[in-house]
Amino acid sequence: MKKVIVTVLANDRPGILASVSEAIFQEGGNLDQVSQTLLETQFAGLFIATLTQELSVEELQARLRKTLSPHGMDVLVKPIGEPDTTGVIPSEPFVITCFGPDRKGLVAEITAILARHKVNVTNLRAIFEGGDDPARNLMIYEVDVPVSTDTATLSEDLRTRAAELSLVINIQHRNIFESITRM
| Residue 16 reports pLDDT greater than 80 | yes
Report pLDDT for 134.
65
pLDDT of residue 55: 87
% of the chain residues with pLDDT over 90: 72
Backbone angles phi, psi at 78, to 5 degrees: -130, 145
Distances (CA, A) of 42 to 36, 73, 100, 160: 11, 11, 25, 35
- What is the per-residue pLDDT for 137? 87
Conformation bin of residue 118: beta by default, left when phi > 0, alpha when psi is -120 to 50: left
Concatenating the DSSP letter of every residue in 72-119 gives T-EEEEEEE-----TTPPPEEEEEEEEES---TTHHHHHHHHHHHTTP
Task: Report, as an integer, the average pLDDT of 57-82.
Answer: 94
What is the chain's alpha carbon radius of gyration, rounded to the nearest angstrom?
20
Q: What is the pLDDT of residue 159?
A: 95
Within its chain, how far is the Cα of 66 from the centroid? 27
pLDDT category at 86 given cuts 50, 70, 90 is confident
Beta strands in the chain (DSSP E): 2-11, 29-39, 42-51, 74-80, 91-99, 120-128, 137-146, 168-173
Cα–Cα distance between 167 and 147 in angstroms, integer? 26
d(CA 64, CA 125): 29
Residue 166: Cβ within 10 Å count: 11
Q: Which long-range contacts (CB under 8 A, 24 or more apart) does 34-41 make?
A: 38/12, 41/11, 41/12
- Would you state the pLDDT for residue 183? 66
First CA to last CA distance, the chain: 44
97-132 pLDDT tens trace: 999 888 888 899 999 999 999 999 999 998 888 766
CA 21 – CA 66 distance, rounded (Å): 15
**Please, what is the Cα angle at 168 between 38 and 158, to 5 degrees?**
95
